[in-house]
Structure 1
Amino acid sequence: MSIASQHSTSMTDEQQRVAHLLNALNQVVLDKPNVVKLALSCVLAGGHLLLQDLPGMGKTTLAQGLAQLLGLSFNRVQFTNDMLPADILGMSIYDQSKLDFAFRKGPIFTQLLLADEINRSSPKTQSALLEAMEERQVSQDGQRHALPAPFFVIATQNPLQQSGVYPLPESQLDRFLMCLSLGYPSPAAERELLRGESRRTLLANMTAVLDTESVMAAQAQVAEMYVADTVLDYLQRLVAKTRASNEYHGLSPRGVLALLRAAQAYAYVSGQQEVAPEDVQAVFAAVTDHRLGQPFLPAHIEHHQSAQTIAQRIVQDVSILT
């Protein structure tokens, strides 16, 4: 039996379906296999995702493709500077037939919420998502309303250099498990975009690979992924390096747990049965840069060797072996 066949037979049914989902998503979001894999890992880790890039880079396509293939209910909210918290959470409306107030649910009551251009709304509206993202519930008029399970927020953010945007506060950024950027497509991928079907048509024709039950089963398997002590040692050395600088605050305990969950999910999506140091490396920048105050860099600058992110420098400085 070949190594490849041994690897495939060791995968669970959910892992094989996740591999099929990953392949389907790469047919829609072209030339971004690493970003797509990280985004799927973020969702299966039970985390929220922040996509920051210039407009028109495919952020919304990625979010819609994930929702369609995961078989989850989906709502999209276009954030604007005049939006109020009630526009997202819902509000109490007086019901004349019952002579009482009834809570009318807002668009946040869905399994996957796309918060489009989240930083175009005021800080007050942005903060309305905090409880929902952390507690999976909404409090209104002294009552708590549970959100559907599973619940994810995928938010898109425009560069702060553009007009009419507000920076996300640190407490809001910390609620996002990962922060990713798509960047420009390669010339070959761009040619396929020009000659091929529109992304809207492709999305409309996609069928779900998973459903609510299988998504939650996959999340449970992610949480059970084995992590050896040597991998935890390496993870803690990376974390200690983030806390050894006077230029930025190091990772909090919540950030450390997020890093572990993301590494488990990445290993799971890769079809593995346990977490390797390379899985920690693969997710480290996506999980930590936005928590360490790394500014948004446009795609053509981000990958330039002289403009490495904080996380990339830390990974280079910390050896896997003690």
Structure 2
Amino acid sequence: MTEQYELAPLTNFVWDGTRFELPRIGAIQRLDLPIHLEKFKKILSEVEIQRLSACPFWLVFRPSAESNLQPAAILFVFQFLLWLVVPTRTQIEFRFISTDGADPTLANRAFRILDQFHWLEKIVQERVSTGHLEEIRRYTDNLLWIVTSSERLLNSLQLTYSGITSLMWQARFICFSATMEGLLTYSSEPGIAKRLAGSFACLVDRDPERRLRLYHEFRRLYDIRSDIAHGRANHLKQPEKNIEELIAYENLVRLLWKSILAEPTTARELEKTDNHRRTFIQSLMEGFHPPEN
């Protein structure tokens, strides 16, 4: 039986290594020789052919018959983890299929990927380190569990994806807020902002002083979400300030996802019913006393 290889060019991916294995995802591989993609002129423009032919790094993987992960899901998992660990300008704009080996030159099919992750320029890092890739590897198993086996957390992951791929700062802000609510909510009673802030602070940190700072930061940023959602965003007229607040909020989303993916128990407890969530989160909040208002 012919083995099928999936190959995705990592444009703008800068790293000093040559090959890095990501179990259950694939391998980041440096290709030093020029890649000839003229056969795909019906799909790629001349500019795209030139750019991809010079692209040094590709993600290479083989779909497994035993896995229920589609190639698009594998590419999403990789891009999400890269966004989580080290924001860069890396894009995956195409994927190629080869039945003749792990060489893009041998590919016989190509697909354009329409949805793209949009990075916030102020926090972009120019290079990826091997340490970053090792951190990505640590989170992989738990993220794959969410993608293949969860429902509640998968919904929040999809909301995060919608935020990352949005070009509109307000839409991005709302999607990240919905992510927070989806990951932390355990009650429909009044007082959701205070409840979410306490849950967030105690999930991501154990130090009392840092918890209090995180609590106040969450409340402040969540209030911006309320202004956007309830028609009071007309006073948010400073573009630079709006992006700064979005960056701060996005960093809180990263912090929360890292806390969830770092520990298998956390993801599985948050996947359960509201009552289970309440018990789990309140056990983390023991000894933490947020302000009354």
Normalising by the residue count of structure 2, what TM-score does the alignment of the two structures yield?
A: 0.29
Higher helix share: 2
Higher relative contact order (CA 8 A, sep 6+): 1
Normalising by the residue count of structure 1, what TM-score does the alignment of the two structures yield?
A: 0.28
